[in-house]
Amino acid sequence: MTASTDNAASKQIVLSAIEALSRGEYERYLAHLAQDVRFYTIGTTRYSGLVIGRDKVWSEILGKTSQSIGEGGYREEIVRVVAEGEVVAVQSRGYEKTTNGDDYNNEYACFYVVRDGLIAEMSFYLDTELLSRSEK
């Protein structure tokens, strides 16, 4: 495989995972993650810090946050994607209406590491103040 093929493959894996998440296809999203995935979120919210393992990503993060997604679901707009080998950087905007009717529209810079065809690491940078306000 050439470097550009590696870049394209890594990029496609990440974009496929994001698409699954945006469609609420959580099992498909989780299938893109390595069993021992490392999921890091910046800040001091209850979702911040490092979570290790696909099952814990669901039980400690996605399973909980998915419960607050209201009618209309979640939509993620990709602004920019840069891939270099196993590392993929994604700048995006997320849009949703929460179950209590509030808008939750955040901006993200996410860094993914893809190994053996699965996402092995994720680091999320976002407006944690907005995240904290949405938890109330």
- Token pair for 74: 């979640």
pLDDT (tens place) for every residue of the chain, 136 residues total: 445 558 899 999 999 999 998 888 989 999 999 999 999 999 888 888 999 999 999 888 777 666 666 666 777 899 999 999 899 999 999 877 777 777 778 899 999 999 999 999 999 998 888 777 776 5
In order of their start, the domains of the chain are 3-134 (3.10.450.50)
Q: How far is CA 4 from CA 42, 82, 127, in A?
A: 30, 12, 32
pTM here is 0.86
CB atoms < 10 A from the CB of 80, how many? 9
Quote the CA–CA distance of 123 and 109 in Å, as a whole number: 8
β-strand pairing of 118-126 with 33-41 = parallel
The residue behind tokens 């669901």 is 58
User: How far does the chain reach from its first CA to its final CA, in angstroms?
Assistant: 48
